[in-house]
Amino acid sequence: MTVHIPVLSSEVIDGMNPQPGDTVVDGTLGGGGHSRELLNLIGPSGRLFGFDRDPHAVEETRQRIPDENATLIAANYSDIPECLAQLGVELVDSILLDLGLSSDQLADRDRGFSFQSDGALDLRFNPMAGESAAKLVNRLSEKHLADLIYQYGEERFSRRIARKIVRLRHENRIETSAQLAAIVRSCIPKSKTQTIDPATRTFQALRIAVNEELKWLKVAMNRLPDLVRPGGRIVVISFHSLEDRIVKQALNENSELEVLTRKPLRATEEELAVNPRSRSAKLRVAKRLGG
């Protein structure tokens, strides 16, 4: 059973503006929350294509969304153009990318996304592809680790963290999320104004690195607008400044798009009370010109 609560649901629906009979794409399927809402609105004459890099998420969501109008595919959102072409689909009415982790992934102790659990330090969306975070942490040089944590996590104590990781891994390999989280917390001074776990930025950096998230986001933002028919919409939810910068720049610089959100939309106080993970979500909407 999913524990995921989709963020900015009403804002997503307003942004995508789904109509009965539309063909829509959920490029980051996750727990399927947004997809279920979209299917209700496009109705039996509509078509939804859902994608996720996490094969487990796709399989789980397939059990929850047996709708014959939904086609769910395990694939990187940067590969959506090829996937749709193989299915004979040239243009769609709207595309959604929700770049956040799903609560289901955070709750899976075997994936290591949550530093509150003692799961394996993996952090890959697709466990069958690439190198785990544990391998990176135990292999990279101190300088490379520090640069990675600073660049992708915007962590100002990155050098102190990298130095301690390298020193301690000589005694015991760092294999679990709890091990790494404890190391990071010990390197960051306590603050009364601190609102997030001190390990958050380091885990974000490693997750971005092992999944090459920023690389594939740039590719997707360059390619996906071409799939939207004139008058159609593209909606993107980002969760940190590195993502949002890429999204904002790509939408603003595309001459085929009209940006509909001068400033990104944020969660309301009501949503924050129900779903605290929505606090960092930023939603941007653009419309394909010509419709």
Taking the C-alpha atoms of residue 23 and residue 195, their distance in angstroms, rounded to an integer, is 40
Determine the pLDDT at residue 274: 84
Residue 111 has pLDDT above 90, yes or no: no
Determine the pLDDT at residue 174: 95
Residue 115 has pLDDT above 60, yes or no: yes
Residue 254 has pLDDT above 80, yes or no: yes
Q: Which of 57-71, 128-142, 169-183, 224-238 has the least mean pLDDT?
A: 57-71
pLDDT digits 0-9 by tens, 96-106: 999 977 555 55
- Provide the residue ranges of all domains of the chain, joining segments of one domain with +: 9-104+214-288, 107-212
**First and final CA of the chain: distance in angstroms?**
40
Q: Cα 59–60–61 angle (5° rounding)?
A: 95
Residue 45's alpha-carbon distances to 19, 51, 70, 83, in angstroms, are: 10, 20, 11, 21
Cβ within 8 Å of residue 120, ≥6 positions away: 110, 111, 112, 132, 134, 175, 176, 177
pTM of the entire structure? 0.90
Domain at 107-212, CATH homologous superfamily:
Putative methyltransferase TM0872, insert domain (1.10.150.170)
Taking the C-alpha atoms of residue 173 and residue 105, their distance in angstroms, rounded to an integer, is 24
Determine the pLDDT at residue 1: 46
Q: Which of 56-60, 90-94, 217-221 has the least mean pLDDT?
A: 56-60
**In a 3-state reduction of DSSP, which class is residue 285?**
strand
Determine the pLDDT at residue 197: 86
pLDDT digits 0-9 by tens, 257-270: 999 999 999 988 88
Q: Which CATH class is domain 9-104+214-288?
A: alpha beta
Count CB-CB contacts under 10 A for residue 167. 11
Tell me whether domains 9-104+214-288 and 107-212 share a fold.
no
